[in-house]
A and B are shown apart, each in its own frame.
Chain A
Amino acid sequence: MGSTLRLYLTCIRNTLHAAMCLQNFPCQEVERHNKPEVELKSSPELLLNPVVICRNEAEKCLIETSINSLRISLKVKQADELENILTKKFLRFLSMRAEAFQVLRRKPVQGYDISFLITNYHCEEMQKQKLIDFIVQFMEDIDKEISELKMSVNTRGRLVATEFLKQFI
């Protein structure tokens, strides 16, 4: 399983390296405005083809690029109901604090669990390689965190149940 993770992450890293070629571009539709074209989608010539990278049926990554912005949406592996709830709560917790992360989007794109929006301003302030490293590290850590959360929920559940049922012995 570990080997497919490496391949998946390498593929995403290479795609991001190519996709994160952003430049400042003022809005063509509204004067004096500067909007992320990938969100606006008003001028089709400014958008590039979206790419979906699937690890398996449950995990995939959608990368949409435009001339001044890039949107990365992730679908995280959720094997059972418990992981479903944990993922939803955990990612909602992070998305609510999107300002702290700067590149995080407040709401995930339809059909995905979490989304990032990277604009040319982020590329000007931060280094491209470090942004890509951040995204890839995030993906690795998410899986670990969800597993740990699940384990701690199960452990706690077992402890509580044991304690509770002791009174009936």
Chain B
Amino acid sequence: MAVISVHQFAQCITCHAWSPDRSMVAFCPNNNEVHIYRLVEDKWEKVHVLQKHDQLISGIDWSARSNKIVTASHDRNSYVWNLEGSEWVPTLVILRLNRAALCVQWSPKENKFAVGSGAKTVCICYYEQENNWWVSKLIRKRHDSSVTSVSWHPDNNLLATTSTDGKCRVFSTFIKGVDAKNDNKKDSKKSTSSDLKFGELIVQLDLSSSWTFGVKWSPSGNTLAYVGHNSMIYFVDDVGPSPLAQNVVFRDLPLRDVLFVSEKRVIGVGFDCNPMVFAADERGVWGFVRYLAERKTVSSGSRYGSQFSEAFGKFYGQSKPGVGNDAVETSKTRGVVHENCINSIIRLGERGILTRRFSTSGLDGRIVVWDLENEQDLLEL
């Protein structure tokens, strides 16, 4: 199996991020704190607890080179944490949001980060040296509903967003003073990056009839993938004035997040509790390959049903057996690893063309590390 390790950290995890050397993991255990655990001789020990937010933390990202953690929460705030000595010190971020922040991601050069919010805006934040804080520029009036997910293009300028209005949009986030102009060196294929106006809508993709989540760019930045709640995954090549879009419908429950493990392989995770692999063949047509973990039938003895029947029994002086037969027959098969919805998938290791390892976290409170080493059929590019 592709699973390397499974660890139960909490009852429920909303989001997680790994340190650059992968020795520490930061996650939110479904409350207003960030717990950082370090792997010490095969055991996980809690080393830090970051307490500054008032409400649930919806997004964490740990930058690979500058070793900073950015957190975004439902309390409309975001903080950037710097490790000073052995303590994490928060730096204020002026987000200017009036609704919850839903997702956050560092840009590839780590000089900016993007925050998607329930206020139907996206905040692009950059550091202001004079005041030692992070200020933001807002992309307003472009989204019709909450922004659920953001993803940076490798060129540090384009940002893709998904929203509960069913659309995926790509914006330019050029900020004078932060992004240097490098037009001469860019080739014509990436001419879209030379739209140097901040907040300019490059392309709007209206492919899904339901909410969209989990947008990601491929390692080269040529392909975009995102999922819709209608159990479909969308692949868009050549994002620009004439994009080439493909839909892949799959049979089971919707996905929540995706990850490009190579230019032609995508792993999707969601309500099925089992990662799904999608691949593009030689002609560039995407399709579903298989599930990553084995699916076993689990008999769900209706424990909940029996509690209710016992309550009934008390009133009527009878005791009823709790397990209904149909419960066992029609239980859906589940992957053994995660028991509840998987809500995020993070690559482990450097941003490169090929990813071997990744980790998933879910509502069952587990963080599972997967390795594609033994999956021969998936390793071919």
Interface pair B340/A127, CB less than 8 Å apart: yes
B303 at the interface (CB under 8 A from A): yes
B291-334 interface code vs A (CB 8 A; 1 in, 0 out) = 00000001010111100110110001000101010110011100
- With A21-B229, A23-B341, A26-B74 in contact, do A137 and B145 touch (Cβ < 8 Å)? no
Q: Tell me the A16-44 residues at the B interface (CB within 8 Å).
A: 17-18, 21, 23-28, 31-32, 34, 43
- With A123-B363, A145-B312 in contact, do A9 and B326 touch (Cβ < 8 Å)? yes
Separation of A138 and B340 alpha carbons in the complex (Å): 23
For B75, what are the chain A residues with a Cβ–Cβ distance below 8 Å?
A: 32
Query: Which has the most chain A C-beta neighbours within 10 Å: B14, B55, B308?
Result: B308
Nearest Cβ on chain B to A149's Cβ, whole angstroms: 9
Nearest Cβ on chain A to B298's Cβ, whole angstroms: 8
A119-131 interface code vs B (CB 8 A; 1 in, 0 out) = 0000111111111
Separation of A31 and B117 alpha carbons in the complex (Å): 11
Interface pair A13/B300, CB less than 8 Å apart: no
Separation of A131 and B55 alpha carbons in the complex (Å): 27
Separation of A138 and B256 alpha carbons in the complex (Å): 31
Contact partner, B302, options A23, A101, A125, A137, Cβ 8 Å: A137
For B311, what are the chain A residues with a Cβ–Cβ distance below 8 Å?
A: 100
Interface pair A45/B340, CB less than 8 Å apart: no
Chain B residues touching A, range: 35 or more
Main secondary structure of the interface of A (DSSP, over half): helix
> What total of chain A residues lie within 8 Å of the partner, measured CB to CB?
41
Q: Tell me the B106-131 residues at the A interface (CB within 8 Å).
A: 118-120
Separation of A10 and B324 alpha carbons in the complex (Å): 13
Among residues of B, the one whose C-beta sits closest to the C-beta of A10 is B330
A141 at the interface (CB under 8 A from B): yes
B192 at the interface (CB under 8 A from A): no
Interface pair B253/A18, CB less than 8 Å apart: yes
Contact partner, B324, options A26, A28, A137, Cβ 8 Å: A137
For B100, what are the chain A residues with a Cβ–Cβ distance below 8 Å?
A: 26-27, 31-32
A151 at the interface (CB under 8 A from B): no
- With A123-B340, A124-B363, A133-B305 in contact, do A28 and B256 touch (Cβ < 8 Å)? no
- With A10-B330, A26-B74, A34-B74 in contact, do A133 and B304 touch (Cβ < 8 Å)? yes
Query: Which has the most chain B C-beta neighbours within 10 Å: A26, A130, A138?
Result: A26
Interface pair B303/A31, CB less than 8 Å apart: no
B217-253 interface code vs A (CB 8 A; 1 in, 0 out) = 0000000000001000000000000000000000001
For A136, what are the chain B residues with a Cβ–Cβ distance below 8 Å?
A: 324, 326-327
For A46, what are the chain B residues with a Cβ–Cβ distance below 8 Å?
A: 145, 164, 211
- With A10-B326, A28-B118 in contact, do A21 and B305 touch (Cβ < 8 Å)? no
Q: Tell me the A77-112 residues at the B interface (CB within 8 Å).
A: 100-101
For B11, what are the chain A residues with a Cβ–Cβ distance below 8 Å?
A: 124-125
B204 at the interface (CB under 8 A from A): no
A59 at the interface (CB under 8 A from B): no
Interface pair B144/A45, CB less than 8 Å apart: yes
Contact partner, A23, options B120, B305, B343, Cβ 8 Å: B343
Interface pair A133/B256, CB less than 8 Å apart: no
For A45, what are the chain B residues with a Cβ–Cβ distance below 8 Å?
A: 144-145, 164-166, 211
Interface pair B304/A31, CB less than 8 Å apart: no
Interface pair B340/A137, CB less than 8 Å apart: no
Separation of A140 and B323 alpha carbons in the complex (Å): 12
Interface pair B330/A21, CB less than 8 Å apart: no
- With A18-B253, A21-B254, A24-B14 in contact, do A134 and B302 touch (Cβ < 8 Å)? yes
User: A10-B330, A28-B145 are known contacts; what are 4 more A-B pairs with Cβ within 8 Å?
Assistant: A18-B253, A26-B99, A123-B340, A137-B308
In the complex, 27 of the A-B residue pairs with CB atoms within 8 angstroms, ordered by the A residue number, are: A9-B326, A13-B330, A21-B341, A23-B341, A24-B14, A24-B58, A26-B100, A26-B118, A28-B119, A31-B99, A32-B74, A32-B75, A45-B166, A100-B311, A123-B363, A125-B12, A126-B304, A127-B300, A129-B298, A130-B300, A130-B303, A130-B304, A130-B305, A136-B324, A138-B305, A141-B308, A148-B316
